[in-house]
Amino acid sequence: MPPSTRSPHDKTTTRSASAPPRTYSTAYVAQRLGISIPTVQRWVDAGRLKAWKTPGGHRRIDAASADRLFETQAAPVEADIEPVPNGAESLSVVIVEDNAEESGILRELVGAALPQAQVKVFDSGIQALVAIGQHAPDVFVTDIVMPHMNGAEMLRQLSTQCVVRPRLIVAVSSFGEKRLAELGELPPQVHFVGKPVDREPFIALLRGMQ
Protein backbone atom coordinates (compact mmCIF):
# COMPACT_ATOMS: atom_id res chain seq x y z
CA MET A 1 0.00 0.00 0.00
CA PRO A 2 1.54 3.37 -0.97
CA PRO A 3 2.34 5.73 1.88
CA SER A 4 -0.14 8.48 2.66
CA THR A 5 0.43 11.72 0.77
CA ARG A 6 -1.58 13.85 3.21
CA SER A 7 0.48 16.77 4.46
CA PRO A 8 0.38 18.35 7.91
CA HIS A 9 -1.38 21.28 6.24
CA ASP A 10 -4.18 18.91 5.15
CA LYS A 11 -4.69 17.79 8.75
CA THR A 12 -4.91 21.36 9.97
CA THR A 13 -7.52 22.15 7.32
CA THR A 14 -9.60 19.15 8.42
CA ARG A 15 -9.57 20.23 12.04
CA SER A 16 -10.52 23.83 11.13
CA ALA A 17 -13.43 22.67 8.98
CA SER A 18 -14.86 20.70 11.89
CA ALA A 19 -14.35 23.44 14.48
CA PRO A 20 -17.59 24.44 16.29
CA PRO A 21 -19.14 27.80 15.47
CA ARG A 22 -18.41 30.82 17.68
CA THR A 23 -21.09 31.42 20.29
CA TYR A 24 -21.93 33.78 23.17
CA SER A 25 -23.89 33.18 26.35
CA THR A 26 -27.24 34.92 26.81
CA ALA A 27 -25.74 36.77 29.79
CA TYR A 28 -22.90 38.16 27.65
CA VAL A 29 -25.30 39.32 24.90
CA ALA A 30 -27.59 40.93 27.49
CA GLN A 31 -24.65 42.75 29.08
CA ARG A 32 -23.33 43.99 25.72
CA LEU A 33 -26.75 45.33 24.72
CA GLY A 34 -27.74 46.65 28.14
CA ILE A 35 -30.94 44.58 28.25
CA SER A 36 -32.26 41.73 30.40
CA ILE A 37 -31.59 38.03 29.80
CA PRO A 38 -35.35 37.31 29.32
CA THR A 39 -35.41 39.94 26.55
CA VAL A 40 -32.51 38.17 24.79
CA GLN A 41 -34.40 34.89 25.09
CA ARG A 42 -37.52 36.45 23.59
CA TRP A 43 -35.50 37.83 20.67
CA VAL A 44 -34.21 34.31 20.09
CA ASP A 45 -37.76 32.95 20.13
CA ALA A 46 -38.82 35.69 17.69
CA GLY A 47 -35.98 34.81 15.30
CA ARG A 48 -34.02 38.04 15.79
CA LEU A 49 -31.07 36.09 17.19
CA LYS A 50 -29.89 32.67 16.07
CA ALA A 51 -29.32 30.25 18.94
CA TRP A 52 -29.43 26.64 20.06
CA LYS A 53 -29.24 24.65 23.30
CA THR A 54 -26.32 22.53 24.44
CA PRO A 55 -26.87 18.92 25.62
CA GLY A 56 -26.76 20.35 29.13
CA GLY A 57 -29.68 22.66 28.37
CA HIS A 58 -27.73 25.93 28.16
CA ARG A 59 -28.69 28.36 25.41
CA ARG A 60 -25.87 29.58 23.17
CA ILE A 61 -26.19 32.58 20.86
CA ASP A 62 -24.62 32.43 17.40
CA ALA A 63 -21.79 34.99 17.50
CA ALA A 64 -22.30 36.25 13.94
CA SER A 65 -26.01 36.83 14.63
CA ALA A 66 -25.23 38.74 17.84
CA ASP A 67 -22.40 40.74 16.24
CA ARG A 68 -24.84 42.12 13.65
CA LEU A 69 -27.10 43.29 16.48
CA PHE A 70 -24.15 44.81 18.36
CA GLU A 71 -23.40 46.90 15.27
CA THR A 72 -26.94 48.31 15.08
CA GLN A 73 -26.84 49.71 18.61
CA ALA A 74 -24.04 52.06 17.59
CA ALA A 75 -25.91 53.52 14.64
CA PRO A 76 -28.89 55.58 15.84
CA VAL A 77 -30.11 58.46 13.73
CA GLU A 78 -29.72 61.41 16.06
CA ALA A 79 -31.66 64.64 15.87
CA ASP A 80 -29.95 67.97 16.25
CA ILE A 81 -29.46 68.73 19.94
CA GLU A 82 -30.30 72.19 21.16
CA PRO A 83 -27.58 73.75 23.35
CA VAL A 84 -28.65 73.79 26.99
CA PRO A 85 -28.16 77.06 28.90
CA ASN A 86 -25.92 76.87 31.96
CA GLY A 87 -27.89 75.82 35.02
CA ALA A 88 -30.94 74.69 33.02
CA GLU A 89 -32.25 71.15 33.49
CA SER A 90 -32.38 69.19 30.23
CA LEU A 91 -34.89 66.44 29.55
CA SER A 92 -33.98 63.51 27.30
CA VAL A 93 -36.38 62.32 24.59
CA VAL A 94 -36.31 59.23 22.38
CA ILE A 95 -38.47 59.10 19.23
CA VAL A 96 -39.02 55.89 17.25
CA GLU A 97 -40.45 56.43 13.75
CA ASP A 98 -39.40 54.71 10.51
CA ASN A 99 -41.12 57.22 8.21
CA ALA A 100 -38.81 60.20 7.57
CA GLU A 101 -41.65 62.72 7.11
CA GLU A 102 -43.50 61.61 10.25
CA SER A 103 -40.22 61.57 12.15
CA GLY A 104 -39.61 65.19 11.16
CA ILE A 105 -43.07 66.18 12.40
CA LEU A 106 -42.53 64.53 15.78
CA ARG A 107 -39.11 66.14 16.15
CA GLU A 108 -40.60 69.56 15.43
CA LEU A 109 -43.39 69.05 17.96
CA VAL A 110 -40.99 67.84 20.64
CA GLY A 111 -38.79 70.87 19.94
CA ALA A 112 -41.76 73.19 20.33
CA ALA A 113 -42.85 71.56 23.59
CA LEU A 114 -39.42 70.98 25.13
CA PRO A 115 -36.92 73.32 23.43
CA GLN A 116 -34.08 72.40 25.79
CA ALA A 117 -34.55 68.64 25.45
CA GLN A 118 -31.85 66.34 24.11
CA VAL A 119 -33.50 64.28 21.37
CA LYS A 120 -32.51 60.99 19.75
CA VAL A 121 -34.44 59.49 16.85
CA PHE A 122 -34.42 55.81 15.83
CA ASP A 123 -36.08 54.06 12.91
CA SER A 124 -35.94 50.64 14.59
CA GLY A 125 -37.70 49.36 17.69
CA ILE A 126 -34.79 47.02 18.43
CA GLN A 127 -32.30 49.91 18.38
CA ALA A 128 -34.57 51.91 20.66
CA LEU A 129 -34.90 49.09 23.22
CA VAL A 130 -31.13 48.70 23.32
CA ALA A 131 -30.66 52.45 23.85
CA ILE A 132 -33.32 52.60 26.57
CA GLY A 133 -31.78 49.59 28.30
CA GLN A 134 -28.54 51.53 28.53
CA HIS A 135 -30.07 54.87 29.53
CA ALA A 136 -33.80 55.45 29.98
CA PRO A 137 -35.01 58.81 28.59
CA ASP A 138 -37.50 61.07 30.35
CA VAL A 139 -39.89 60.95 27.38
CA PHE A 140 -40.42 58.12 24.90
CA VAL A 141 -42.50 58.66 21.74
CA THR A 142 -43.02 55.76 19.33
CA ASP A 143 -44.98 54.87 16.25
CA ILE A 144 -47.00 51.66 16.51
CA VAL A 145 -46.51 50.26 12.99
CA MET A 146 -42.86 49.54 12.14
CA PRO A 147 -40.88 46.75 10.48
CA HIS A 148 -39.25 43.91 12.47
CA MET A 149 -40.81 44.84 15.83
CA ASN A 150 -44.11 46.70 16.07
CA GLY A 151 -44.46 49.46 18.62
CA ALA A 152 -47.03 47.57 20.69
CA GLU A 153 -44.63 44.66 21.21
CA MET A 154 -41.80 47.07 22.00
CA LEU A 155 -43.91 48.89 24.60
CA ARG A 156 -44.90 45.62 26.27
CA GLN A 157 -41.23 44.62 26.55
CA LEU A 158 -40.36 48.08 27.85
CA SER A 159 -43.11 47.83 30.46
CA THR A 160 -42.10 44.39 31.75
CA GLN A 161 -38.32 44.21 31.29
CA CYS A 162 -36.75 47.63 31.81
CA VAL A 163 -36.02 48.37 35.46
CA VAL A 164 -35.88 52.13 34.83
CA ARG A 165 -38.63 53.35 32.50
CA PRO A 166 -39.33 56.72 30.84
CA ARG A 167 -41.48 59.08 32.88
CA LEU A 168 -43.77 59.69 29.91
CA ILE A 169 -44.52 57.13 27.17
CA VAL A 170 -46.53 58.17 24.10
CA ALA A 171 -47.67 55.86 21.29
CA VAL A 172 -48.80 57.39 17.99
CA SER A 173 -50.66 55.66 15.16
CA SER A 174 -53.16 56.16 12.37
CA PHE A 175 -54.72 52.77 13.18
CA GLY A 176 -58.26 52.65 14.52
CA GLU A 177 -59.25 50.73 17.66
CA LYS A 178 -59.94 47.49 15.78
CA ARG A 179 -56.55 47.42 14.01
CA LEU A 180 -54.76 48.35 17.24
CA ALA A 181 -56.51 45.54 19.10
CA GLU A 182 -55.06 43.07 16.60
CA LEU A 183 -51.56 44.10 17.68
CA GLY A 184 -52.31 43.51 21.34
CA GLU A 185 -53.18 45.69 24.31
CA LEU A 186 -50.94 48.62 25.15
CA PRO A 187 -49.59 48.88 28.72
CA PRO A 188 -51.85 51.05 30.92
CA GLN A 189 -49.25 53.79 31.47
CA VAL A 190 -48.97 54.53 27.72
CA HIS A 191 -50.65 57.67 26.33
CA PHE A 192 -52.14 57.01 22.89
CA VAL A 193 -52.20 59.79 20.27
CA GLY A 194 -53.83 59.36 16.87
CA LYS A 195 -52.32 60.43 13.54
CA PRO A 196 -52.25 63.01 12.17
CA VAL A 197 -51.04 64.33 15.51
CA ASP A 198 -53.06 67.26 16.87
CA ARG A 199 -50.35 69.82 17.59
CA GLU A 200 -51.61 71.70 20.65
CA PRO A 201 -52.77 68.69 22.77
CA PHE A 202 -49.52 66.85 21.96
CA ILE A 203 -47.39 69.83 22.98
CA ALA A 204 -49.44 70.25 26.17
CA LEU A 205 -48.91 66.56 27.01
CA LEU A 206 -45.14 66.88 26.71
CA ARG A 207 -45.02 70.20 28.55
CA GLY A 208 -46.57 68.44 31.52
CA MET A 209 -43.12 66.93 32.06
CA GLN A 210 -41.63 70.30 33.05
Q: Would you place residue 129 in the very low, low, confident or very high pLDDT band (cuts 50, 70, 90)?
A: confident
Structure confidence by residue, pLDDT tens digits, 27-63? 888 777 767 677 777 778 777 788 888 776 778 888 8
pLDDT of residue 85: 40
pLDDT at position 94 over 80: yes
Q: Which fold has domain 21-72?
A: Multidrug-efflux Transporter Regulator; Chain: A; Domain 2 (1.10.1660)
Angle between helices 63-72 and 125-134 (to 10 degrees): 80
CA distance between the termini of the chain: 88
75 against 185, higher pLDDT: 185
Domain residue extents for the chain: 21-72, 77-207
What's the Cα-to-Cα distance from 26 to each of 43, 44, 160, rounded to whole Å? 11, 10, 18
Quote the CA–CA distance of 155 and 178 in Å, as a whole number.
Answer: 18
Q: Which fold has domain 77-207?
A: Rossmann fold (3.40.50)
- Per-residue pLDDT, averaged over 185-204, amounts to 90
2 secondary structure, DSSP code: P
pLDDT of residue 153: 78
pLDDT at position 84 over 60: no
- Three-state SS for 76? coil
Burial of 11 (0-12, 13-18, 19+ CB in 10 A): exposed
- Per-residue pLDDT, averaged over 130-154, amounts to 83
Tell me what the pLDDT averaged over the chain comes to. Answer: 76
Are 152 and 184 in contact by the 8 Å Cβ rule? The answer is yes
